[in-house]
């Protein structure tokens, strides 16, 4: 007696879009932080 569970999990489209947007904003933040560090020498310009 073998019982198989054939449920498949589906990911909602809204979650995929939200994670994509989140990743893109994170990359933009990293690039902005690198640009600020390269131009001013400080990770957060103006913050001591």
pTM for this entry = 0.66
The whole-number pLDDT of residue 1 equals 62
- Tokens of residue 2, six digits: 């073998």
The whole-number pLDDT of residue 48 equals 65
Pick 13 or 44 by higher pLDDT.
Answer: 13
């Amino acid at each position: 007696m073998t019982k198989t569970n054939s449920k498949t999990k589906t990911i909602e489209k809204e979650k995929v879009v939200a994670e994509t947007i989140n990743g893109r904003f994170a990359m933009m933040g990293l690039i902005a932080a690198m640009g600020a560090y390269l131009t001013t020498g400080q990770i957060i310009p103006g913050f001591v």
